[in-house]
Every structure is written in C-alpha cells, then in structure tokens.
Structure 1
Amino acid sequence: MAQYKGTMREAGRAMHLIKKREKQKEQMAVLKQRIAEETISKSKVDKKFSAHYDAVEAELKSSTVGLVTLNDMKAKQEALVKEREKQLAKREQLEERRLQLETLRDKARRKEQRRKISSLSFMLDEGDEEGDEEGVGGSPGPEAPKRRRPLGKDPAVDTSFLPDREREEEENQLREELRREWEAQRERVKSEEIEVTFSYWDGSGHRRTATMHKGSTVQQFLKKALHCLRQDFRELRSAGVEQLMYIKEDLILPHYHTFYDFIVAKARGKSGPLFSFDVHDDVRLLSDATLEKDESHAGKVVLRSWYEKNKHIFPASRWEPYDPEKKWDRYTIR
C-alpha cells in the first residue's frame, strides 16, 4: 500500500514538472516573438535614419568639391541636415493630411449610405454612426452603455395632417394667387356697365334710365339721376343727393351700398329681386300676383320731404329700410 502511494506521488510530481516546462516553453516563444518584432522595427528605424544620413552625405559631397575649411564643412553639413529634416517633416504632414482626407471621405460615404437606407425604411441615429466609427478605430470599453437604435419615420404612413413648412408655403402662395385672381375678376365685373331703370315718384311715376357701372354706389346713382331730373322738375333744382331716397321692391336702400353688393348677394325685396335688370310693370298695379316670380320692377327716386309727408299713404306705407339679414318670402305680397 505504501509503495502504491509513493508511485502515485512520483507520477503527480512528474505531471506537474511537465506542465511547468510546457508553460515555460510558451513564455519563451512569446518572448522570442516580441524580441523579433522589436528587432524588425528597430531595423526599419535604423534604415530610415541611415537613408536620411546617406542622402545628406551624398548631397554634402556634391556641394563641397575641392578644398574647404572645417568650419565651412560643418556649417554646410548642418544646413543640409536641417533642410533634409524639413523635407521629411513636410512629407509626413502631407501623408497625415492624405490619411485625414481618406477618413473624411469614408465618413461621408457611410453617412450617404445611411441616408439612402433611412429614406427607404428607418432613420439611423447619430449615436449609431459614432458607434460604427469607434468600431473601426477600436472596440469600446467594457463599461460603455449599449445604445438602442430608435425607430424613425415609416414612409408608408400618411403624414399629410402633420405640419409641413414647405407645404404651408405652397398653400399660402396658391391662396395669394387665387386671391389676386378673384380680385381681378371682381374689378372686371364691377367695371361692367348696366342700365338702371328708375321712376321719379311724386305721387305718380316719371320713368327714366341711367347707365351705371356695377361697382357704383346708390349715392353715385342718385347724383346722376338728380342731374337728369332737375331740368324737368322744379322742386329738384335746389335739392341735394342727401335729400333723395332710392326705394327698390319696397325697401329703402342705403346710399353706401353698391349695385355689385346686391347682385352678388342676390338680394330680394318684398315684391321681387332687387336687381335682375329685366324691369317689368308693378304687379300691384295689375292686381295679379301670379306674374311675380323673378322679375324686377323699376325703382323709385323720392324726395325725403315727400316721404315724411306721405309715409302713412300707399305705397309709402309699405316701404321699410333695407336689412340684409331679413329674408322675404318669394311669393308673398302684403
């Protein structure tokens, strides 16, 4: 039994020594490889400096032909060494600049690729680009937090309801163009001429006509009507426009309204449309209400003093001030 135990100890000791020797061999191999690498790098540096000094020596020999003093020789050698060092430093700067430009081109190319990919599916975050750059230069530390890539915009989703500066500018430009077009069309309509049939009312009718623009106001119309009526009616010779009233379809029209306002609004009075310019006889005088549909009657130009005296008598008793909010029944005559 004791002999068996001794044998086992010897075997364990032998295995331990074998492992120790293998470990030492591995360490020696690593050390040899490191020494070889240092020797190669040192030889490269030596070659670099030897080439540098060989070039300086060759240039010195070619520039110092004949007998020269020792001081001149040393000064020439120092100048050549400095010049050679400047050339080497400049070459190293150019090489470093070239490497920087190549790095910038690679970054721009990767950024363009990410932009194209994001336009097709999802946008990449700036953090991912930084992470890629770190992966190219070296791996990040073990404690660096792993950033999750955020989801971007899905091009298949309808985003027309979201604010868009370019779309809003286009819409504003289109609105402005439509507004200018509408204003030009409105001015063109206002400049159209119309023939207004009216009757000076002093208890009986005296029909006249006047040519006006659709953009003219009631006051401008009364001024022109007064100019036509003064020579035939003595009471109008000293009257002014402010003393006249214009009654259309039993409504007293304000002086500041234009014909265009009534035409566009398709305004109606008690006995028909205010202005459709197809004047017919007053249906009340014909006692036949069935004739009144879309027919306009001649308006009345009246002195305000005459209205104040006779406003309780027909037809002045039916006249009311114009109210744009009030709607009159189309077929009702009171």
Structure 2
Amino acid sequence: DGSRFGKLGKNPAVKADFLPDRDRELEDAKEAIRLKEEYRAAMKAKLESSFDLHFLYWQSRGMLGQDVRKIKCVMSVKYGDSVADLLNRFRDDNHREYPELAHLTGEQCMFAKEGLIVPGHHTWFELINTGCVVQDKDVFKDLDSPKFVTDKDKANERKAGIEVKESLKLYSYLDAGCVMDRKWFDRNSKTFPMCKWEVYNPRKDYRTAF
C-alpha cells in the first residue's frame, strides 16, 4: 500500500548508473539542448565577427596584359563571408582606383592562395578551419593572422615585384592570397607559376599533391 509505506527511495550506497533513470535522462536531454544552443550562439557570434584580410591585387599591365603589378591590399571581412563577397566588394570599392575593374563583375575575378584557386562559395571560417596542408604548411590558417614582415621578407617582396604601401609595411605578403581578373589567369594559365595552380577541393589530400 503506497499510502501506508510511502515512496520507496534508492539506496545511495548502491551503484546504479547502469540502470534506466528517467529523471537522469531528462536532465541529460536538457543539458544536451543547452550545450547545442550555446554552441549555436557562439558560432553565430564567430561568423559575425570580423578580421583584416591581407592579400595582393594582381593588376594586369601592358598591351596584352602579359605583365602584372602586385599591389598590397587589406579589407575587413567577416568569418561568415564568402570569397565571392570579397570579390564583389573589392570590385565595387576599387573600380575607380583601378579602372580595369569597372569592366568586370565579382564573378569575373578570382581568389587564389599558394597555388589553390578558391571557389567563391567557400567562407573564410571554413577555409581557416579546414586544415588544408600543402607540403607541411596549413595554407589557409594564416588568413586571419598574417605573419609580421622581416628584413628578409622585405628583400624577397622587392624581388617578387610586390609594391609596398606605406600603411601596409607591417605584414609579410609573400604567402598572401591574391585577387585577379579570371580572364588574365586563363590567358596566362600555361605560364609559371599559374600552370601549377588548381581549383581547391576540400576533399583532396594536398600533402603530396604539389
């Protein structure tokens, strides 16, 4: 008789974790929901946060555009932004300074880094966290944390024809990504180093690909 003897309790001295426990299951489910919501909130905040993306604009020069001028650039982007967002903004913000951009759309430009041409749908968060290793180096990991320039870097930048803007001397651009006219790339895709470039595939193992 329940009213006579009351509700039976558990003996705390007996280990019973392996037994079904509805109260514990409900608490575990609530905790799982809380952690999931916490993760979603943190992820949303991360994707909305910004960082300075340092890159080079490869401006084609010459009658046939066979030469290229490498110009240091920096733009604030959100981790949740896509590569296409950068290309569209770069074109819109700079077509007066670089008139050739006035005749292009963002889709007619491309972004590449260390031999990998990045399709426009990839986000910066995805690239930075993807772990794309080429010859023992994580290619995209430094997108939001470029290294500081050294005297050796300065000399190598000059050899590479990278133009040094006074306001952008702090960071090294030797391994920076680059924005360029896709048609220029197509015309020069058989010359070095572009002949070695390929479209980035997140499923491919690049550790021995180059």
Summarize the Cα distance change of 1:161–1:325 in structure 2 as closer, same or farther, 3 Å threshold. farther
1:64-99 Cα offsets, whole Å, 9 max, x none, are: xxxxxxxxxxxxxxxxxxxxxxxxxxxxxxxxxxxx
Q: Is the 8 A contact 1:273 1:296 kept in 2?
A: no
Summarize the Cα distance change of 1:238–1:284 in structure 2 as closer, same or farther, 3 Å threshold. closer
Summarize the Cα distance change of 1:300–1:235 in structure 2 as closer, same or farther, 3 Å threshold. same
Alignment of 1:202-221 (within 5 A): 202=60, 203-221=68-86
Matched, 1:112 2:2: no
Summarize the Cα distance change of 1:319–1:285 in structure 2 as closer, same or farther, 3 Å threshold. farther
Alignment of 1:73-152 (within 5 A): 111-112=4-5, 116=8
Match of residue 182 from structure 1:
39
Tell me the TM-score normalized by structure 1. 0.47
Q: Secondary structure of 1:204's match?
A: strand
Residue 199 of structure 1, aligned match among 56, 72, 77: 56
Q: In the TM superposition, what is the alpha-carbon distance from 1:286 to its structure 2 partner?
A: 6.8
Q: Secondary structure of 1:297's match?
A: coil
Matched, 1:278 2:143: no
Q: How far, CA to CA, are the matches of 2:2 and 2:22 in structure 1?
A: 28
Matched, 1:306 2:184: yes
Q: In the TM superposition, what is the alpha-carbon distance from 1:234 to its structure 2 partner?
A: 2.8
Q: How far, CA to CA, are the matches of 1:269 and 1:177 in structure 2?
A: 38
1:220-276 Cα offsets, whole Å, 9 max, x none, are: 111111123312333221211111110012111121111111223343456653141
Which ranges in structure 2 are unaligned for 5 or more consecutive residues? Answer: 61-67, 161-172
**Greater RCO, CA 8 A, separation 6+:** 2
Q: Is the 8 A contact 2:83 2:120 kept in 1?
A: yes
Structure 1 runs (4+) deviating above 4 angstroms are: 269-272, 279-287
Tell me the TM-score normalized by structure 2. 0.71
Match of residue 254 from structure 1:
119
Which residue identity is paired with 1:196?
L
Which residue identity is paired with 1:278?
P
- Which has a greater percent of strand? 2
Which ranges in structure 1 are unaligned for 5 or more consecutive residues? Answer: 1-106, 121-154, 288-294
Summarize the Cα distance change of 1:206–1:159 in structure 2 as closer, same or farther, 3 Å threshold. same
What percent of counterpart residues are identical?
25
Q: Is the 8 A contact 1:251 1:322 kept in 2?
A: yes
Q: How far, CA to CA, are the matches of 1:235 and 1:218 in structure 2?
A: 20
Matched, 1:161 2:18: yes
Match of residue 226 from structure 1:
91
Q: In the TM superposition, what is the alpha-carbon distance from 1:119 to its structure 2 partner?
A: 5.4
Q: Is the 8 A contact 2:131 2:138 kept in 1?
A: no
How much is the aligned-residue C-alpha RMSD, in angstroms?
3.3
Summarize the Cα distance change of 1:286–1:233 in structure 2 as closer, same or farther, 3 Å threshold. closer
1:141-166 Cα offsets, whole Å, 9 max, x none, are: xxxxxxxxxxxxxx83x443344332
- Which has a greater percent of helix? 1
